[in-house]
Amino acid sequence: MYTLGIETSCDETAAAVLRERTVLSSIVSSQVKLHEKYGGVVPELASREHLRNIMPVVSEALAAASVSLSDIGLIAVTSAPGLIGALLVGVSFAKATAYSLGIPFIGVHHGEGHILAAQIEHPGLGYPYVALLVSGGHTALYHVREFGSYRLLGQTRDDAAGEAYDKVAKLLDLPYPGGPVIDRLAQEGNAAAFAFPRGVREGFDFSFSGLKTAVRNRVAIFRSKDAGLDPSLNIRDVAASFQAAVVETLVDKTMLAAKETGVRSVVVAGGVAANSMLRKRMIEETEKNGLRLAIPGMSYCIDNAAMIALTGFLRYERGERSGLELNPQASKAL
């Protein structure tokens, strides 16, 4: 059976086609250029852009998979959480298309999609495992005992890790999204240059707002109203020191979660899982602790529709369907 996946929860319009669990195509149209000049996603602009993009992106995904719409047996769509206007575009499209084709459709939780993305390239990944979900909207640790069972171990009390990257980039006059830019600059910086705070030390909760404030205070010393940022501030060192604080916390808590739950496998998912330092440190620490690590490839870390199609298909296999009364939800726990 062919599944068409749709993702429009934030600033990526994405569509993918799967044959059973195999990804045949995954098309992502990023709106980054549109939102860049505002330093973040403008919800109303995002909705309008999704509306413009959805048909061409779906057509491209179908063509790349060499199938036509009439071959599709199931439509899976992100229905929560996300920007409500953006979600509405995908959900309305999915409902209307499924209704007109007379096929089932299923609403998918974006966070579950990110976690299950690890299975696309690691089909043998069994249960249980600990999942670290780190994106622009989430930073949480889950104990995943079996399919569909996500016990929240801890989450951020304020900003998500990706949000912290984006805000720190803004402080340094760097473009949006900040994650990839800081990742790159940090590779040339000294991570020991600034001693930034590590947030919540105990337990599985995270906090990144203190770290962001510490960076802001440090940068403020080098900023003047007229001249902007003083070039004597080495932004590579700031980026590296900030990143070290984020990555150290994420890695330490994930290792502790694996130890306390007794699992042998770890999944790292979400946009921030694309971070080179996080990937490197996770590989090192899981190897040291004899754990199996599953991180999706870069294209499945950032928002995509293949992860949504896979999650929808796995739920469909268990007999789940959504009704036409399904409405998107801006926030929803996993």
Please classify residue 48 by burial: count the beta carbons closer than 10 Å to its beta carbon, then call 0-12 exposed, 13-18 middle and 19+ buried. middle
In terms of CB distance, is 72 or 244 closer to ligand KG4? 244
Site string for ligand KG4, 130-169 (x = CB under 6 A): -----xxx------------------------xx-xx---
208: enclosing H helix or E strand: none
Interaction pattern, residues 292-321, with Zn ion; x per rule: CB under 5 A: -----------x------------------
Alpha carbon distance 266, 292 (integer Å): 6
Task: Extract the tokens encoding 210.
Answer: 């203190």
Number of shown-chain residues binding Zn ion (CB under 5 A): 2
Structure tokens at 227: 């001249």
| Gap between the Cα atoms of 223 and 67, Å rounded | 55
- The answer to whether the beta carbons of residues 53 and 10 sit under 8 Å apart is no
Q: Which stretch binds ligand KG4 (CB under 6 A): 123-131, 178-186, 189-197, 253-261?
A: 178-186
271 binding ligand KG4? (CB under 6 A): yes
Q: Write down the least CB distance from residue 251 to Zn ion, Å.
A: 20
Nearer to ligand KG4 (CB atom), residue 274 or residue 309: 274
Query: Residue 86 phi/psi, 5° resolution?
Result: -70, -45
Q: Nearer to ligand KG4 by C-beta: 107 or 271?
A: 271
Nearest CB to ligand KG4, comparing residues 3 and 135: 135
Q: Which of ligand KG4, Zn ion, none does residue 180 bind (CB under 5 to 8 Å by kind)?
A: ligand KG4
Task: Find, among 133, 125, 157, 131, the residue nearest to 143 by Cα.
Answer: 131
CA distance 222 to 93: 49
Contact status: 90 vs ligand KG4 (CB under 6 A)? no
Is 199 a residue that touches ligand KG4 (CB under 6 A)?
no
Structure tokens at 238: 């700031």
Give whichever of 140 and 272 is closer to ligand KG4, judged by the CB atom: 272
Give the one residue of 4, 6, 10, 72 binding ligand KG4; rule: CB under 6 A.
10
Residue 328 binds ligand KG4, judged by CB under 6 A:
no
**Longest CA span, the chain:** 64
* Residue 247 or 263 having the CB closest to ligand KG4: 247
Q: Which residues of 109-141 are buried (b: 16+ CB within 10 A; e: fewer)?
A: bbbbbbbbbbbbebeebeebbbbbbbbbbbbbb
Distance CA 96, CA 303 (A): 23
Q: Under the criterion CB under 5 A, does residue 135 sit at the interface with Zn ion?
A: yes
Given the rule CB under 6 A, which residues bind ligand KG4?
10, 135-137, 162-163, 165-166, 177-180, 183, 270-272, 274-275, 302-303
